[in-house]
Amino acid sequence: MLRSIFLAALLTVAGVATTAAQAPTVNVEHAWARATPGGAKSAALYMTLVNKGADDRLVSVSTPVAGKAEVHSTTTENGVMRMRPVEALDVKAGTSTTLKPGGYHVMLTDLKAPLVAGQSFAVTLTFENAGKIDVTATVEKLGAAAPGAMPGMKM
Amino acid sequence: MRRYTLYAVAVAAVVALFGLWLTAPWRGAGPRDATATLQAPSIGGPFTLTATDGSTVTDQSYRGKIMLVYFGYTTCPDACPTTLNSIASALAELGPLADRIQPLFITIDPQRDTRAVLADYVKAFDSRIVGLTGRPEQIAAAAKAYGVYYAPYKTADAPDGYLMDHTSVVFVMNEEHRFVATFTQDTPPAQMADRLRRLIAKTS
C-alpha cells in the first residue's frame, strides 16, 4: 500500500517534471497569412507570441512553402512605409507580441507556390531559449479586412 | 521738412490700410481657409501612364469618376496587400455606388512589375482596381504630383536584393480630381465606404 502510494507520487513528480520540460514557454497563437495574388513571390506571415517564460528572442523562422522567411518590421512615418529586416525579435517575459499588418511580420520570399485561402502550412519558429516550436499557419482569403475579423465588420 | 511730413503721412496711410486689411471681414476664417485654398490643389495633377493592356492612360481617362490613387509595388508583402484589401472590401460594401469610383494602383517598381505581373496582382483583389505602370520618368512625374516618396532599400534578404520604401497613402480625389481625403492601411474598410458614400452624395 505504502509502496504503491510512493510509486504513484514518484510517477506524478516524474510526470510534472516531463510536462515542465516539454511545455513550450512561448505559445504561438493564430498564425496566418493572406492568400497571395497571382504572380506574387512574397507574402507576410502574422501571429501572436505569448511568452509565459523568461525573456526570449525569436531568432529564425522557416517554412517549406518559401525559400526564405525573415522577420521584418514595418514603420510608417509621415505616410512613408519602410520595411526593415529585424535580426531577432524580442519577446519579453509575461508579454504578448502580435505580428500584424503594419507592424512586425515574417516576410516569406521565393514562394514555392501561391498561398491559397483555406489551406494551411507548417512553420518552424526558433527561439533563443524556448528552442524550436512547430506551428501550423492558415491561409486567409484576400479581402479579409483584419486578422480574425469578419469582412466588412465595423471596427 | 514738408517732404518728410508727406512721407510720414504716406507711411501712416499704408500702415492704416494694412491694419484694415488684416481685420477685414472678407478675409474669412483665416488660416483654415488659407489651408483649404493653398494646400488642396497641391496634391494631384496630370499624369500619363500605361495600363496593363498596353494602352496609354491619363488622369483625363477617369474624368467624372472619384479616383482612389495608391502607389505601391507587387513584391510588397504587408502594406500594399493590406491597403488593396481594404479598398476591395470598401468597394464591395458600396455595391453599385462603386461604379462612381476608379481605384488606381500605380507601381513604383516598374522594373519588376511588368504589365502581366501587375494585371495578375490587382485582379486578385478586385477586377475594378486598375494597375498602372510607365516609363520611370512618367512614374516619377505622377508620384511628384501626389507628393509621393519612393526609393529602393538594398538588402540581400529581399527578392532581387531590394525592398521599396514608399508613401503608403490612398489619395481620394473627387470627380473633378480635386484632393479631398486620404486613407491609410489602418483605415477600416467600413470607414472608407462611409467617406466615399458621403462624397458621392455631395457630388450627385
User: What pLDDT digit, counting tens, does each position of B114-138 carry?
Assistant: 999 999 999 999 999 999 999 999 9
| Segment holding B113, helix H or strand E | none
| Segment holding B97, helix H or strand E | none
> Is the residue at A124 inside a domain?
yes
Minimal CA separation from B157 to chain A, in Å: 8
> Is the residue at A8 inside a domain?
no
> Is the residue at A116 inside a domain?
yes
Q: Which amino acid type is present at position B178?
A: R
Looking at residue B8, its pLDDT comes to: 60
Per the structure block, which three cell numbers stand in for A133? 516550436
Minimal Cα distance from B124: which residue of A? A37
- For residue B190, give every residue at least 6 positions away whose Cβ sits within 8 Å of its Cβ, in sequence order, or none: A152, A153, A154, A155, B90, B93
> C-alpha angle with apex A124: A120 to A125, nearest 5 degrees?
125
CATH of the domain at A134: 2.60.40.1890
Q: Which segment of A93-102, A144-153, B86-95, B120-129 scores lowest on mean pLDDT?
A: A144-153
User: Which residue has better confidence, B168 or B40?
Assistant: B168
Q: Is B82 on the interface with A (CB under 8 A)?
A: yes
The 3-state secondary structure of chain A, one letter per residue? CHHHHHHHHHHHHHHHHHHHHHCCCEEEEEEEEECCCCCCCCEEEEEEEEECCCCEEEEEEECCCEEEEEEEEEEEECCEEEEEECCCEEECCCCEEEECCCCEEEEEEEECCCCCCCCEEEEEEEECCCEEEEEEEEEECCCCCCCCCCCCCCC
> Is the residue at A38 inside a domain?
yes
C-alpha to C-alpha distance for B185 and A81, rounded to whole angstroms: 10
Question: A-chain residues within 8 Å CB-CB of B129?
Answer: none
Give the mean model confidence (pLDDT) for residues B135-149: 97
- Residues of B75-100 as b/e, b for ≥16 C-beta within 10 angstroms? bbbbbbbbbbbbbbbbbbbbeebbeb
Threshold 0.95, pTM exceeds: no
B7 — pLDDT class (breaks 50, 70, 90): low
Number of domain units in chain A: 1
- For residue B158, give every residue at least 6 positions away whose Cβ sits within 8 Å of its Cβ, in sequence order, or none: A107, A109, B75
Looking at residue B13, its pLDDT comes to: 55
Q: Do A79 and B163 touch (CB under 8 A)?
A: no
> Is the residue at A19 inside a domain?
no
Mutation choice for A interface testing from B71, B78, B146 by most A CBs within 10 A: B78
- For residue A101, give every residue at least 6 positions away whose Cβ sits within 8 Å of its Cβ, in sequence order, or none: A44, A46, A146, A147, B78, B79, B82, B185
Percent with pLDDT over 90 in chain B = 73
> Is the residue at A126 inside a domain?
yes
Query: Residue B89 is nearest to which of A70, A101, A151, comparing CB atoms?
Result: A151
pLDDT at B39 over 80: no
> Is the residue at A18 inside a domain?
no
Q: Which segment of A44-48, A110-114, B27-31, B141-145 scores lowest on mean pLDDT?
A: B27-31
Q: Is B122 on the interface with A (CB under 8 A)?
A: yes
C-alpha to C-alpha distance for A103 and B128, rounded to whole angstroms: 28
Q: Do B188 and A40 touch (CB under 8 A)?
A: no
What is the residue-averaged pLDDT of chain A?
A: 83
C-alpha to C-alpha distance for B28 and A53, rounded to whole angstroms: 62
Question: A-chain residues within 8 Å CB-CB of B125?
Answer: 37, 142-143
pLDDT at A15 over 50: no
pLDDT at A21 over 70: no
Minimal CA separation from A6 to chain B, in Å: 57
> Is the residue at A2 inside a domain?
no
Q: Is A141 on the interface with B (CB under 8 A)?
A: no
Per the structure, the complete domain to which residue A55 belongs is given by 24-140
Looking at residue B12, its pLDDT comes to: 57
pLDDT at A8 over 60: no
Task: Mark which residues 51-70 of A lie under 8 Å from B by CB.
Answer: 68, 70
pLDDT digits 0-9 by tens, B18-34: 444 444 433 333 333 33
Per the structure block, which three cell numbers stand in for B193? 465606404
pLDDT digits 0-9 by tens, A91-113: 999 999 999 999 999 999 999 99
Q: Do B78 and A143 touch (CB under 8 A)?
A: no
pLDDT digits 0-9 by tens, B152-180: 999 887 888 999 999 999 999 999 999 99
